[in-house]
Amino acid sequence: MIKKEEVLEKLPEMGRVLTIEEREQVLDEMQVRAYRKNEPIYSEGDVPSHLLCLLSGKVKIYKDGYRAAFAEENYVTAAAAFEPSVIASIPIDLVRQLITRNPQLAWFFMHRLAVALGRSDARTVNLTQKHIRGRLAESILFLKESYGTEEDGQTLSVYPSREDMANLSNMTTSNAIRTLSAFVQEGLIVLDGRKIKILNEAALQKTSRIG
Amino acid sequence: MIKKEEVLEKLPEMGRVLTIEEREQVLDEMQVRAYRKNEPIYSEGDVPSHLLCLLSGKVKIYKDGYRAAFAEENYVTAAAAFEPSVIASIPIDLVRQLITRNPQLAWFFMHRLAVALGRSDARTVNLTQKHIRGRLAESILFLKESYGTEEDGQTLSVYPSREDMANLSNMTTSNAIRTLSAFVQEGLIVLDGRKIKILNEAALQKTSRIG
DNA sequence: GGCAAAAGATGTTATTTAACACAAAAACAC
DNA sequence: GTGTTTTTGTGTTAAATAACATCTTTTGCC
């Protein structure tokens, strides 16, 4: 069982800009739920009525998470737990209320949306302007930035399948396998099953830029 | 000379959510300026200190406009007037103040950012999953949606060069020229210099989907 | 008008990447 | 364990698209 009091501490940056009373209200109306591995969280076409916050675990989102509720569109993607995960859901009406009363929260979300928009545009450039090697190198670096590494500081702490890597980098699974092998040959990375260990990050960054 | 009073009327949806006093303040601090054709508006690396609103004319933006100021990043793109244009610039500090006091304005911007993020993601899919014909067809339809048509309801009211079409669709100029010609052969469009007249929008939409 | 520069058009070739076929290995079920 | 499915790996072929060369037409400028 998850204690709600512990949850708000984890609501990453959002909790910080809330007043005591607002926190109370969030705790009151929020639902917290655990998901098993591969359990669906939302499906394409669903109406987003809650702001979803991933508290722990990992989720495979096919496009995005918190965007749909604000755009007042339905989900165009689906999401499922990638490993056992805990998710808090806050009714979007409450979020709207809070934003109305707390301008700092409004800035918080605007800022995140604007940053996400910049990233999305950068990703478009990455996927359209770079060749296979550059795209795959970028994906590996992206995974490191997003999820970090194990204690050695080199091994990614996510273990994506070759197919996942292919989807992330917009290429066929065959080409992801082949190109990963090439990176191993060149001493950029080491593979151990699905574990990816970065040996030469500088060279990987260079590959991401020039292919 | 442009009268400021006339300007606020034109600030598209933003003006609507402002109170009388807020409008006064915007009018007071806002600068309005005309740009000649091809005159640069901002350059890559500039620090965005104002919210820019295009009042009339057309601007060629290489990536986006109002995003950078909220993301608190510098411009990663450049923009120039595509034809004679008028632009209002509102200090971002004032916008921040207004948002703090007027929650509706916060919602307005959040909504737009969220919608733009959805579009950006859709564009990524468009450019990565579709083949040349699909991408070019989509670009033509996009231009119709964004800028509309002349009185005949068929001729686009923008006149992009072949190179512009190529950049928009992520292909070489040669291929843009060739594919546009193919569309003419197939009776989808008619070309007259840079004018593009849509003859068969349904078929164009089908081409955009299936290539 | 006449020249220079830019834009448009078209054909040929080279490269990249997807598609496909198949085999080996690993994960999973019973 | 044994059979089954999924994932991974590798080679071959075919398709899409970029790169390049060349020519024509249009545009802008003096």
Confidence of residue B11 (pLDDT cuts 50, 70, 90): low
User: A79-93: per-residue pLDDT in tens?
Assistant: 888 888 889 999 999
Mind spelling out the 3-state secondary structure of chain A? Answer: CCCHHHHHHHCCCHHHHCCHHHHHHHHHHCEEEEECCCCEEECCCCCCCEEEEEEECCEEECCCCCHHHHHCCCCCCCEEECCCEEEEEEEHHHHHHHHHHCHHHHHHHHHHHHHHHHHHHHHHHHHHHCCHHHHHHHHHHHHHHHHCECCCCCEECCCCCHHHHHHHHCCCHHHHHHHHHHHHHCCCEEEECCEEEECCHHHHHHHHHHC
Interface test with A, best of B124, B130, B139, B169 (most A CBs within 10 A): B124
In this structure, the dihedral spanned by the alpha carbons of residues A50, A168, A170 and B209, taken in order and rounded to 10 degrees, is: -10
- Which of A5-9, B112-116, B124-128, B175-179 holds the top average pLDDT? B175-179
B135: closest CA among A192, A168, A161, A127? A127
Query: Which of A21-30, A41-50, A131-140, B119-128 has the highest average model confidence (pLDDT)?
Result: A131-140
Mean pLDDT, range A167-195, rounded to an integer: 97
Tokens 């260990």, located at residue:
A197
Question: Residue B168 has what pLDDT?
Answer: 95
Answer whether A110 sits within 8 Å of B115, measured CB to CB.
no
H or E element at residue B36:
none
Q: Collect all residues of chain B within an 8 Å Cβ-Cβ radius of residue A121.
A: 63-64, 120
Q: How confident is the model at residue A169 (pLDDT cuts 50, 70, 90)?
A: very high
Tell me what the mean pLDDT of segment A146-154 comes to.
Answer: 93
From B72, B100, B114, residue closest to A103, measured CB to CB: B100
Q: Are B116 and B64 in contact (CB under 8 A)?
A: yes
Alpha-carbon distance of B183 to B23, in angstroms, equals: 48
Residues 118-157 (A) with a CB less than 8 A from some CB of B: 118, 120-124, 127-128
B165 pLDDT more than 80: yes
In strand C, the nucleotides that come within 7 Å of a protein beta carbon are 7-11, 16-21, 26-27
Q: How far in angstroms lies nucleotide D9's C1' from the CA of residue B183?
A: 42
pLDDT score recorded for residue A12: 60
Nearest to A70 among B72, B111, B124 (CB): B111
pLDDT score recorded for residue A210: 82
User: CA A118 → C1' C10, Å?
Assistant: 39
pLDDT level of residue B205 (50, 70, 90 thresholds): very high
Q: Which of A63, A110, A115 to mutate to test the interface with B (most CBs of B within 10 A)?
A: A110
Give A1 to chain B, closest Cα distance, Å: 34
**Chain B within 8 Å of A47 (Cβ-Cβ)?**
no
Predicted local confidence at residue B65, as pLDDT: 58
Domains and CATH numbers, chain B: 4-126 (2.60.120.10), 130-210 (1.10.10.10)
Rounded to 5°, the CA angle B69-B73-B74 comes to 90
- Position A89 scores a pLDDT of 93
pTM (predicted TM-score) = 0.88
Q: List protein-proximal bases of chain D (any atom < 7 A from a CB).
A: 7-11, 16-21, 26-27
pLDDT digits (tens, 9 = 90+) for B64-87: 556 656 777 777 777 888 888 889
Higher pLDDT, B7 or B48: B48
CB of A182 nearer than 7 A to strand C:
no
Given pLDDT bands bounded at 50, 70 and 90, which one contains residue A78? confident
**What proportion of chain B, given as a percentage, has pLDDT over 70?**
90
